[in-house]
Structure formats: structure tokens, C-alpha cells
Amino acid sequence: MSNIVAIVGRPNVGKSTFFNRLIQRREAIVDAVSGVTRDRHYGKSDWNGKEFSLIDTGGYVLGSDDIFEAEIDKQVELAIDEADAIIFMVDVESGVTGMDEDVAKLLRRVGKPVFLAVNKVDNAKRAEDAVEFYALGLGEYYTIASINGSGTGELLDALVEALPEKEDVVEEDLPRFAVVGRPNAGKSSFINALIGEDRYIVTDIAGTTRDAIDTKYNRFGFEFNLVDTAGIRRKSKVKEDLEFYSVMRSVRAIEHADVCLLVLDANRGFDGQVQNIFWLAERNRKGIVVLVNKWDLVEKDHKSVKEYEKVIRKQMEPFTDVPIVFISALTKQRIFKAIETAVEVYNNRSKKIKTSELNDVLQPIIESYPPPAYKGKFVKIKYIMQLPTPQPQFAFFCNLPQYIKDPYKRFLENKLRDNFGFHGVPISIYMRKK
């Protein structure tokens, strides 16, 4: 287990810029709009050979009416609870503010190592101005400029020195399940219901989750990373840069996931936006589970599920072999069924079929239904094998690969599904010259 370090402070003091410098990726969104980091945000860093996890928290604002700020306060408190050490960031430009004093009061009671980092100190005059931060009663301070990294070395030396020793556990490469969908479909509520802890800020304002965030999760003796993504909106709706980053991050989350849990709002259905996300996951050859959320709010009769499912499958064509689970994040109805299904899809995606078995099962089918002759030429498929790729891909070796058209490839795909069960996983078929 690596140590956890939380970066706290009021909004806009440069926490995210510092966080990004330490983890060396553009992971947290950085923007001049105050209060952009709304959730605890995790990343890995190391210094002098010592690894630690970083939490970048939302700006800490006490006693505010703003609905987000009250929630952010809760997140910061959670982060402080989780951390082994805390970097408290302040800004030399604005000097000591009332908010800084509030945070300092909170930190003086913590009983964990606290490092006061005075940011934006990039000249001698500002280094002198930093003296006033002694008034916060947290002892020594470190002057840094997170934008160019000056001073961070001394701060990190002291930080890793203070971190408790932890036994090394090998960090396994866990399967990644990305929870995706349009804004306000209930993705964060679904994850909160699963984890049973307010790990995400949930408010009924669309687009609250602006970043993709990982949570380690264990269920049915199976461990995986659950990735919550910002709601993906249509391009035309992406007004602010922030939204743009979020969409980018959702797309990246899909690219790096093994299975995508596509959450849709039962009242809105499988609309254009949801279809775009579905095809994005399909094009990236990811496992897919469709979760119809807010099912508790839908007027139902005995046919509802069947009818609803039929409509969705029609819109998914030709890739219809996808599990659809009707859930309610609010009442927790079937949320564990959703995860169980995702685990099955994950296993399907990594399934390997022996070459002998493939040929024994499929050759007789191909002999009964050979590819149609083309310009009087007969196509013979001689041999089939699964390619050694992370997702299911099959090579069919034949004499005239160029004459095999899509309808016959779809026929072969369906036979693979019927016989070997790749439920929820796109299959790629390649025709190769024997």
C-alpha cells in the first residue's frame, strides 16, 4: 500500500497545477474558473524512490450557501481522513485570508503531518511576503511556484521523510469498468449505491462529475477499478472548455476501459447521444453492458421490460448481443446484478478458444453454408484461429478472402456467438489468404 497525501486549500491557489506537476499528466482539469476540481482526485507520484498516492481536493470553502461548496467541504474532510500527510496550499498573492484561517483551524486538530506550501512565490519580494503565513500557527512553511516547479524539491524531501513506512503490495493490473452515459443519467448515484459511501458529489445539476475518477472495488471475490466519467454531451452543448476536457476524459476512459457500463435514463431512452457513446465503445472493441436506470420511476405493465428491450435492440443493430439490465440507483434495485453482468462480460472479452475446438465446431457449419460463389469462383475457408489480442479477434484463412462480403462475416460472427458465447463483446473477423 502506498501512502496517501492530500492537497487541500481554498479554491484557486494552484492545487491542481501542483498535482499535475507531481503526477506528470494532465489528470486534474486546470482552469481559471474558481472551484473547478469538485471531487477528490487520485494520482500516483514518487520522490527519492518513495511512491505515494495524491489526492487533489476541491477548493475548501467554509460556511458557503453554494450547494457544491458544502459538498466539497465534505469531500475535503474525507480526504483528510484518508491521508497520511497533508499539503496545505495557500497563495502569496492574496496573503492570509479568512478561508485559509478556517482550513488551518481544521488542520491544527488533525494530528497528521501538515506541510504549509506558499504558492506563486517566484521572486525575492514574494519570498519576503510569505512570512505572514506563520500567523496560521502551522509552523514552518515552504515557498513554491507550482507553475514552474521551483521550491517543490524541498517540500517533497520533507514530505517523504515524514511518511510512515508501509509494506509493499504488488499493484496488480485490475480490470477497468467505466461507467459512461449522458449527463444526469445517474452514473455517480449508481457508483455511490454500490460503494455505500458518498465517494462522488451527487447533486441534481447536470454535469457535476467533470473528471473521470477511479475507485477500487471488490465484489463476488473479484477486484476491479470502477471509473466514473463526466457525462458525455453533444459537441454543440460543449460551451465551456471545462466541458471539452470532460468529454475528452470520458472518451479516454472508454479507450482505457475493459468494460463500459452504459447508464441511460429510462425516461429518455436509447437516444442519439446514448447511441453515440454505445458506438464509441463498440468501435473501441470494449465489453458493453447497458444499464437502464430510474426504472422505478417508469409506469409498467407486464410487457414493459420486453417491449423496452426490443426497442433498444432494434437501435443497436447489427451488434445486438449486449446484456441490458434494468436498475434503480436510488432503490439499489439490481445494481449488484449490473456488476455481476459486467464481470461476465469481462470474462467473455478475455476468453480464448482452442484452435482445434474452433475448427471442429465451425468447419461443419461452413461446409453446410459455404460463402456464396463470386463470378463463378468458389470460396473455401480452410482454417480458423483466434488471434492473441486482448479482445476476441478471429482469422479465417481462405483461398479468396477478397470475395467474402459483410453479410457472410456477420453469419460467421453469429455462429461464433451461438457456440462460444461472447455476450456483450464486439468480435472482429479477418479474412486472410491461406
In the sheet that holds 393-398, the strands lie side by side as 381-386, 393-398, 428-433
Q: Which residues of 181-204 are buried (b: 16+ CB within 10 A; e: fewer)?
A: bbbbbbbbbbbbbbeeeebbbbee
Q: Where are the alpha helices (H) located in 262-375, listed in sequence order?
A: 272-283, 304-316, 335-349, 355-368
- Residue 289 near residue 261, CB atoms below 8 Å: yes
Q: Where are the alpha helices (H) located in 370-424, listed in sequence order?
A: 406-420
Q: Please state, in angstroms and as integers, the Cα–Cα distance from residue 124 to each residue in 128, 131, 149, 324, 367, following that order.
A: 6, 12, 16, 62, 83
φ, ψ (nearest 5 deg) of residue 397:
-90, 125
Question: Element (H or E) spanning 230, and its range?
Answer: none
Q: Cβ neighbours of residue 165 under 8 Å, at least 6 residues apart?
A: none
Residue in 416, 199, 189 with CA at minimum distance from that of residue 291:
189
- Residue 262 near residue 268, CB atoms below 8 Å: no
Residue ranges of the binding site: 9-16, 56-60, 119-122, 181-188, 228-232, 293-296
Question: Would you put residue 376 in left (φ > 0), alpha (ψ -120 to 50) or beta?
Answer: left
Q: Please state, in angstroms and as integers, the Cα–Cα distance from residue 324 to each residue in 5, 298, 395, following that order.
A: 40, 16, 29
Residue in 172, 173, 322 with CA at minimum distance from that of residue 261:
322
Residue ranges of the binding site for GTP: 9-16, 56-60, 119-122, 181-188, 228-232, 293-296
What is d(CA 257, CA 224) in angstroms, rounded to the nearest whole number?
11
Q: Please state, in angstroms and as integers, the Cα–Cα distance from residue 392 to each residue in 39, 285, 287, 427, 430, following that order.
A: 36, 9, 10, 5, 11
